[in-house]
Chain A
Amino acid sequence: DGGITQSPKYLFRKEGQNVTLSCEQNLNHDAMYWYRQDPGQGLRLIYYSQIVNDFQKGDIAEGYSVSREKKESFPLTVTSAQKNPTAFYLCASSWGFAEAFFGQGTRLTVV
């Protein structure tokens, strides 16, 4: 089955802690994206990557970091510099200008 897998589904972060969200795809897509979704805000772009070993900041990159060492993987780290990290995080991938396909999301909560 081709698709995008995000893990974990739920994640809890303590104050001052870094956490990493996993995103893996087996669709052979070149482009991958991370979005943050808050109630009433829609999807806001955090980072994107068009090819391996290259990535670009989106609209709300502060307090986040990514890597793209493999075509299939695009992990997102939420650092302690992100002051309001509680949100629903969505990973997506696409080929060229075609539609993006999404994972099932990770809900991050600060405790």
Chain B
Amino acid sequence: EDQVTQSPEALRLQEGESSSLNCSYTVSGLRGLFWYRQDPGKGPEFLFTLYSAGEEKEKERLKATLTKKESFLHITAPKPEDSATYLCAVQARAGGSYIPTFGRGTSLIVHP
């Protein structure tokens, strides 16, 4: 069964303290891995798509990387406004279709 596991569940950082979030997946034939940011009471906001092992994407203080078994979201010198829940998803097979299947997310709090 296709599965997505995110760790840690929660992460507290001081402003400027770099760290990484993990997303491990088991899926037959990866069609895409996605990272989203979600603020409280709002819909997830798309950040990155990764398609193949070795691929990397960057946006401001965020950098996403992909291996054959997992993806990392690296946060460099975070600021309090980076506080949010970060969700990982993969395209998982459902019958003849592929459906975005999500992990439970990592709740990040950055203290000033």
Closest to A105 in B: B43
CB contacts between A and B, total, < 8 Å: 61
Q: Check A56–B97 contact: CB distance below 8 A.
A: yes
- Residues of B in contact with A (beta carbons under 8 Å apart): 31-32, 34, 36, 41-46, 49, 87, 89, 91, 94-95, 97-105
Q: Check B104–A45 contact: CB distance below 8 A.
A: no
Assess A42 versus B42: contact at CB under 8 Å? Given A48-B99, A98-B32. Answer: no
Among listed A65-73, A74-82, A89-97, interface-contacting one: A89-97
- With a cutoff of 8 Å between Cβ atoms, the chain A residues found around residue B46 in the complex are 99-102
- Residues of A in contact with B (beta carbons under 8 Å apart): 4, 6, 33, 35, 40-43, 45, 48, 50, 56, 58, 88, 90, 92, 94, 97-105, 107
- Give the distance to chain A from B96, nearest Cβ to Cβ, in Å: 9
Q: 18 A-B pairs, CB-CB below 8 angstroms?
A: A6-B43, A40-B104, A41-B104, A42-B104, A43-B89, A48-B94, A58-B99, A90-B43, A90-B44, A92-B43, A99-B34, A99-B100, A100-B46, A101-B46, A102-B43, A104-B42, A105-B43, A107-B41
